[in-house]
Amino acid sequence: MVTLRVVRHDRDQLLAECQSTVIPASGEVVQLDTTDAAGEKSRPSTMWRVVSVTLHIPSLASQRPQDGSALSVQHVEVAVLPDVTLVPEFAAAAEQILSESKM
């Protein structure tokens, strides 16, 4: 299990953070749900396109955890943008952001 952080790519805004056994791939769409204490949706879901995935991997120079467990990935950060396939007017803006990030 890793800590999965979902960050909005163009604003460095944290959108979600939770424990996960699943890591999304670049290009996939993630659906963020807002739930109440009973686990029921309290707001409409939002759809986000994954633009990058960063695994924070301990290097060979890292020390083993104090509990003696093996070194492992503990933290994964996923950068996302609004899914433009659902909102066509965002397509040009998202394309510009992605082209700038490639430079």
Q: Can you give the pLDDT at residue 71?
A: 95
* Residue 97: domain span: 2-33+43-57+72-101
3-state per-residue secondary structure call for the chain: CEEEEEEECCCCEEEEEEEECCCCCCCCEEEECCECCCCCECCCCEEEEEEEEEEECCCCCCCCCCCCCCCCCCEEEEEEEECCCCCHHHHHHHHHHHHHHCC
Q: Is residue 21 part of a domain?
A: yes
Q: Is residue 24 part of a domain?
A: yes
Mean pLDDT of 76-100: 73
Q: Side chain identity at 67, as an amino acid letter?
A: D
Judged against a pLDDT cut of 70, whether residue 97 lies above it is answered with no
Tens of pLDDT, residue by residue over 26-85, are 999 999 999 999 988 998 889 999 999 999 999 999 999 999 999 999 999 999 998 866
Residue 96 has φ and ψ, to the nearest 5°, of -65, -45
Domain count for the chain:
1
Which one has a higher pLDDT value, 90 or 38? Answer: 38
Q: Can you give the pLDDT at residue 83?
A: 83
Residue 77 is encoded by which pair of tokens?
């950060």
Strands 75-82 and 2-8: parallel
Q: Is residue 65 part of a domain?
A: no
Q: Can you give the pLDDT at residue 12?
A: 87
Q: Can you give the pLDDT at residue 34?
A: 93
Rounded Cα gap, residues 72 and 69, in angstroms: 9
Q: Can you give the pLDDT at residue 102?
A: 60
